[in-house]
Amino acid sequence: MDTATETKLRDVVERIVVCIQQGNHAGAEALAQETLQDYPNEPNLLRILGIALLQQLKFDDALSHLLASVKIDPEHAYSHEQLGLALAALGRLDEAEVSLETAIRLNPTSETAYSKLARLQAMHGKDEESRKTRDHLFELAPRRRKLNDAMQLQAEGKLAEARQLIKNVLRQHPDDINALHVMGGICMAQEAFNDAEAFLRKAVELAPDFAIAWSVLSASLKEQGKFEEAIEALVQALALEPRNAGGHCSLGNTLMAWGKEESALSSFETALAIQPDLASALLGKGHVLKTMGNQDDAIRAYRASARARPDLGEIYWSLANLKTFRFDPDEVKAMQAQLDSGQLTDGSEAHFCYSLGKHFEDDKDYSKAFQYYTRGGAIKRREVNFDPVEFVVQSEKIIEIFTPEFFAQRESFGFSDPAPIFIVGLPRSGSTLIEQILSSHSEIDGTAELPDLITLAYQTGQNRFDKLIYPETLVDMDSEHVEDLGKEYIKRTLRHRQGAAYFTDKMPNNFSHIGFLHLILSNAKVIDARRHPLDSCFGTFKQLFAKGQPFSYDLFELGQYYKCYARLMEHWDRVLPGKVLRVQYEDNIADPENQARRMIEHCGLEWEDQVLRFYETERSVKTASSEQVRQPIYNKSVNSWKRYETELADLILVLEDVLAKLPEHLERPGVPS
């Protein structure tokens, strides 16, 4: 090839590279294809075309061009590295590993090849080989060792130290994609999800083929309720690693969180087609089937998951949390053996404790059940962040801010949409039953426990120069801003609705924010799901929540929390008379038709007889009561606290004032009704 031809070809290759760097992969492909007509055996063109095709997820075409490139120029390390990517994307993991090892042999200083090989080995289950590959990488690139040290600090819970270490790396190397990825993970651990998103978006912008960064970006988006964007990010990750069973499992979990159960089930099935014994996929499949009301298949999936991971307590709690499920003797022995092993994580130990608590309660051994619930609760209490004094102080501040004068001065504020029906209270107080009754009406969609109202309330304190926080932030807020907040709530919750005029939001913790709710959505309805305080508190105490409710793992704190709840509800009754309809669980059980008519009337709707046949309504139910609300009403949960009256002596003392105010038809400790 003469000099002029070489210069011309080099110029074309540079133009193609620029197209790829600018994200114009289709343009790069077109230019490379055109040039290949004149130079069909030019290995650089073949390699660059293969890269452009990889970026467009055209894996088969990419593979053919990369194979041609390494055949012509077998000593080019980067071609083998890219060939490894194409093979991995097509599920040919053994061949991909060989290609990456070849790339390293040809270029022993290639950080990217070592990094890709370590990840591929980990995906292949070769943990020891992956560790050795990472060690070589650290020797080659000391900066990578710092990143690994930061990840180790993160694993030890030393998040501030880990973040500072990565800050130092990024200060010198702001475009280090691995440092950006690690920083994103640290921010996730700190629950700084906005920060995590920013770092991870920069990482994938710099390296669009960084599959794991796409996955963590998806997790940060999911935590912010940006489900559609989270799914798009995971789709990008899976396009790069379509044989990543864990990635398909993550997609299933995200789809389920978004309320797309059928699609979630398909993703879990895809994961299991790749790795049939993947416990997390079997567990996720069980969750979806439970939510969809297919209990028998859910149990089969959970039990298959337990066979794959007998030490994973979450699986057994998922079975116990079906409420209508009963463990067989072998399962009880297996759980007790796991607890006795001394090899469990704190999380699994807590799950096994709650599962055995449920078993012994079903077996009417209430003393032993209480011991297991208490042991599990103590483990969880160490893990969660809850300051009971701070909650009391905030409750008093809410009462101080939301006065009759406050609302009178803002009578015309807010967005007028009457669609939301809020169901509030403590967990395990009959809110799922109320939601199921309401959602059986043709004009009401049942959704879930939506975080949007609380999120909007606390976001009112963002970016304020005066550092005021909610609820003080509402005092100087103008009517336009308030109306925008109401519109934003309606916009955020649209994704959960199916087209009915009204919808439920059964986040129980919204009881603290009824004043904020009335300010931004004055026509929204509120129903307070109330239950006997001891049944409500103990029902909450023995429930292991997947997320949130940090007040629920200590009985004394639970009693104090309940007192704040009762005080706040009394306050709303005073300052917003008629806003809240109180539905007593025991009354709902004893006289369901009258209570259902009260609720439908409170919502301003015409009566429909099918609301009394709520157990026939087909819909997804995600809470612990999912199986119970698919049955006709029964009363075996009324006064269940009496089985534990001796064990609940301290709680009874804390709630003494509240219990003294109970309606006469509800039983008090030591005072039969």
Does 484 share its domain with 514? yes
- Please give the pLDDT value at position 461: 86
- Please give the pLDDT value at position 636: 66
Band of residue 622 on the pLDDT scale cut at 50, 70, 90: very low
Closest-CA residue to 526 (of 471, 453, 633, 631): 453
- Please give the pLDDT value at position 2: 65
Band of residue 518 on the pLDDT scale cut at 50, 70, 90: very high
- Please give the pLDDT value at position 170: 93
Does 470 share its domain with 503? yes
Band of residue 630 on the pLDDT scale cut at 50, 70, 90: very low
The answer to whether residue 673 is domain-embedded is no
DSSP string, 307-371: HH-TT-HHHHHHHHTTSS----HHHHHHHHHHHHHS---HHHHHHHHHHHHHHHHHTT-HHHHHH
- Please give the pLDDT value at position 412: 94
**Cβ proximity of 651 and 558 under 8 Å:** yes
The answer to whether residue 670 is domain-embedded is no
- Please give the pLDDT value at position 625: 47
Task: Give the pLDDT mean for 464-492.
Answer: 94
**The last residue of a domain, from among 143, 176, 191:** 143
Question: 602: buried, middle or exposed (CB in 10 Å: 19+, 13-18, 0-12)?
Answer: middle
Stated pTM of the model: 0.75
- Please give the pLDDT value at position 28: 86
Does 285 share its domain with 345? no
The answer to whether residue 583 is domain-embedded is yes
| Pairing verdict, β 580-584 and 420-425 | unpaired
Judge whether residue 673 has pLDDT over 50. Answer: no
Instruction: Report the range out of 235-239, 513-517, 587-591, 614-618 with the highest average pLDDT.
Output: 513-517
**Cβ proximity of 620 and 445 under 8 Å:** no
Judge whether residue 31 has pLDDT over 50. Answer: yes
Does 415 share its domain with 368? no
Q: Which residue has the tokens 């109401």?
A: 486
**The last residue of a domain, from among 302, 324, 346:** 324
Task: Give the pLDDT mean for 267-294.
Answer: 94
Does 314 share its domain with 407? no
Task: Give the pLDDT mean for 497-526.
Answer: 97
- What are the structure tokens assigned to 483, written together? 């109306």
Task: Give the pLDDT mean for 14-26.
Answer: 81
The answer to whether residue 669 is domain-embedded is no
**Structural domain boundaries, residue 586:** 390-660
- Please give the pLDDT value at position 460: 93
3-state SS class at 36 = helix
Judge whether residue 186 has pLDDT over 50. Answer: yes
The answer to whether residue 511 is domain-embedded is yes
Task: Give the pLDDT mean for 67-71.
Answer: 93
**Cβ proximity of 248 and 238 under 8 Å:** yes
Instruction: Return the exposure string of 216-240: e unless at least 16 CB atoms fall within 10 Å of the residue's CB, then b.
Output: bbbbbbbbebbbebbbebbebbbbb
The answer to whether residue 117 is domain-embedded is yes
Does 571 share its domain with 452? yes
**Cβ proximity of 480 and 489 under 8 Å:** no
Worst-scoring range by mean pLDDT, 75-84, 427-436, 455-464, 663-672?
663-672
**pLDDT tens digits, 227-241:** 999 999 999 999 888
- Check residues 120 and 201 and name the one with the higher pLDDT: 201
CA–CA distance, 207 with 199 (Å, rounded to integer): 12
Does 410 share its domain with 306? no
Band of residue 619 on the pLDDT scale cut at 50, 70, 90: very low
The answer to whether residue 672 is domain-embedded is no
Q: Which helix (H) or strand (E) holds 425?
A: strand 420-425
- Please give the pLDDT value at position 1: 56
Domain at 117, CATH number: 1.25.40.10
**pLDDT tens digits, 153-178:** 888 888 999 999 999 989 989 999 98
Taking CA atoms, 272 is separated from 245, 246, 247, 399, in Å, by 7, 10, 11, 52
Judge whether residue 671 has pLDDT over 70. Answer: no
Judge whether residue 145 has pLDDT over 60. Answer: yes
Does 376 share its domain with 419? no
Q: Which helix (H) or strand (E) holds 643?
A: none
- Please give the pLDDT value at position 618: 63
Does 584 share its domain with 521? yes
- Please give the pLDDT value at position 418: 97
Judge whether residue 58 has pLDDT over 90. Answer: no
- Check residues 388 and 495 and name the one with the higher pLDDT: 388
Task: Give the pLDDT mean for 409-416.
Answer: 96
User: How many Cβ atoms sit within 10 Å of the Cβ of residue 376?
Assistant: 25
Judge whether residue 624 has pLDDT over 70. Answer: no
- Please give the pLDDT value at position 398: 97
What's the chain's average pLDDT?
90
Domain at 642, CATH number: 3.40.50.300
Task: Give the pLDDT mean for 247-255.
Answer: 95
DSSP string, 118-132: HHHHHHTT-HHHHHH
- Check residues 112 and 371 and name the one with the higher pLDDT: 371
* The one-letter amino acid at 504: T
Does 305 share its domain with 341? no
Closest-CA residue to 612 (of 629, 593, 598): 593
Does 504 share its domain with 400? yes
Does 151 share its domain with 236? yes
- Please give the pLDDT value at position 10: 82
**The last residue of a domain, from among 383, 408, 425:** 383
CA–CA distance, 661 with 581 (Å, rounded to integer): 18
Q: State how many domains the chain has.
A: 4
The answer to whether residue 665 is domain-embedded is no
Q: Which helix (H) or strand (E) holds 448?
A: strand 444-448
Q: What is the share, in percent, of the chain residues with pLDDT greater than 90? A: 67
CA–CA distance, 25 with 215 (Å, rounded to integer): 22
